[in-house]
Amino acid sequence: MMETEENIVTVGAGIAGLATSLALHRLGLRSVVLESADSLRATGFALALWTNAWRALDALGIGGSLRQRSLSITGVEYESRCVRRKDLLETLANELPQGAIRYSSKVDSIEESGPLKLVHLADGSTIRTKGPLSSSICNMIKLEFLDLSRNNFSISIPSCLGSMSSLKVLDLRRSNFTGNLSPLCAKSTSLSTIVLNDNHFEGTLPVSLLNCSGLEVLDMGNNAINDLFPSWLGTLQELQVLILKSNVFHGPIRTCQTTFCFPKLRIFDLSHNEFSGSLPANFFGNFKAMIKLEGEDTGQIEYMKPHENTIYTSYDDSVSLVIKGQDVVLERISTIMTTIDLSSNHFEGVIQQTLKDLSSLWLLNLSHNNLTGDIPMELGKLNTLEALDLSWNRLTGKIPQELTRMNFLAFLNLSHNLLIGPIPQGPQFNTFENDSYGGNLDLCGPPLSKQCGTSDPSHAPQPLDSEEDEDESYFLSGFTWESVVIGYSFGLVVGTVLWSLMFKYRKPEWFVEFFEGIFPKKMRRSNKTRPRRRI
């Protein structure tokens, strides 16, 4: 059985297969095209190609020659031409190097062998793909967008990626990459989007990211990065999306030392980490983009684009967030989308009142922490808030009536706290069900069945675990092993002596008189002389 090795294999010598192979060839990457027929299948009708198609053909270097063999379509504003399918296929094939197309090569099956792929052909031969991402990809000096998402590489990324000066978008999400992160942006200042979500990266964040002065999106979620909070990222003045969720980040959140820290940040997700400490009061005041957003009152929804100065329009920034309790993938990021998610950490202390200044905030999730104190009434000033989740904390006091002023609030979860008193009533609050308040045994009023002003005899006040632990530890603190040994020894000696005396003297008179003096007999009347109660 013959076995060969190739870097990249494309199955099918149609328009898409030939165009992909030619694009790789132009970038210096060798690839082979497998075609089951013995020649090009050039049958078919003509195609009407519009402006974007001609731009792609120009990028492949065949637009000029095809225009000479096409028919222009008049009466339209943009370039539109009619091209025969045969002419398009032959032009693509002629531009490929000799031997790049293998005819009569029918694929029988594709087998995974670790990070490699084995392509079994019908003639019994096998093509073995090399698998690991070749460092030759860094030879693409004009490469602007590198999207290798949703693959199965099982390797580390080439370190040379950080030296590609023209690269603007690096999307490696869900590709099973491993190892430590290479020095991204080591020599590059063009990257605006870095998405490495859902891989197996370890180690710390590379400080070389500071060289990406134009970075707008940084998504490092769902990895195994073990580091402190990277406050130094706050110096990136264009950063709008920072997602570090589901890693092993730990320690407190520290503010950066610069005057302007995260000035354009709009999506901030630190959920499912090991962060601890209190929420710094002055930290949220840095989020100027959440206080007043440019163009938010225009009535038009715009989306982030990482490539405003390029002809390519096929890539949109996208993220995965927890919205109203559900995992949601945003295929496009609205320029007015603002979220803060600090859930599932170990934050403690009170909820900072400075959150009230984030007047453009849409989503706030502080659930599954150790936050204490009252819910700040100032949160009622968040007029655009649509989702508020404060569940699974140790919040006390009443639910502020001021929260009913949030007219856009569509999701509320205050469950599993220590809240007391009546539930406020209002246009939005009246739409929430029992699940929003469950686990707060001292809350009352609609939508709960418990009425205010009544007490549940089976329910005792909810004590704080810390107080119970202190009382128990104080009570048990005196019972050390020394005191137990001393008491046991003293009782053993006294008991042995008394038993010996009683055995020797049977019932000594002095012993009986001693105990009868301590426990005198009670005088009892005879039943015969006991007066009877008259009925």
CATH code for position 289: 3.80.10.10
Task: Supply the DSSP symbol for 28.
Answer: T
Q: Where is the domain boundary, 48, 76, 94?
A: 94
Structural domains counted in the chain: 2
Do the domain assignments include residue 51?
A: yes
d(CA 307, CA 153): 27
Q: How confident is the model at residue 529 (pLDDT cuts 50, 70, 90)?
A: very low
Task: Supply the DSSP symbol for 286.
Answer: G
Give me the chain's average pLDDT, please: 81
Higher pLDDT, 209 or 512: 209
Same domain for 226 and 87: no
Do the domain assignments include residue 84?
A: yes
Half-sphere exposure of 211 (CA within 13 A, CB side): 15
d(CA 412, CA 389): 6
Which residues are paired to 102 by β-bridges? Answer: 34
Same domain for 436 and 287: yes
Do the domain assignments include residue 487?
A: no
Residue 222: phi and psi, rounded to 5, are: 60, 55
Same domain for 222 and 85: no
* H-assigned helices in 265-371: none
**pLDDT score of 203 more than 90:** yes
Tokens in use for 346?
């170990």
Same domain for 365 and 223: yes
Largest CA distance in the chain: 137
Residue 514: exposure state from Cβ atoms within 10 A (0-12, 13-18, ≥19): exposed
pTM above 0.85, yes or no: no
> What are the Cα distances from residue 158, in Å, to 164, 183, 187, 476, 477?
11, 10, 14, 60, 59
Q: Where is the domain boundary, 45, 75, 94?
A: 94
Same domain for 88 and 230: no
d(CA 309, CA 318): 19
Q: How confident is the model at residue 341 (pLDDT cuts 50, 70, 90)?
A: very high
Tokens in use for 471?
């009382």
Contact 352, 281 (CB under 8 A): yes
What pLDDT does 504 receive? 55
Q: What is the pLDDT of residues 501-523, one digit of tens each?
A: 555 555 555 455 544 554 444 44
Do the domain assignments include residue 503?
A: no
Tell me whether strands 319-323 and 326-330 are parallel, antiparallel or unpaired. antiparallel
Do the domain assignments include residue 383?
A: yes
Do the domain assignments include residue 113?
A: no
Tokens in use for 3?
């076995």
d(CA 119, CA 203): 35
Residues 295-301 have a mean pLDDT of: 58
Q: What residue numbers bound the domain in which 279 lies?
A: 216-295+315-444
Do the domain assignments include residue 31?
A: yes
Could you count the other beta carbons within 10 Å of the beta carbon of residue 89?
20
Lowest-confidence segment of 201-215, 231-245, 382-396, 516-530 by average pLDDT = 516-530
Q: Where is the domain boundary, 427, 444, 461?
A: 444
Residue 249: exposure state from Cβ atoms within 10 A (0-12, 13-18, ≥19): buried
Do the domain assignments include residue 76?
A: yes
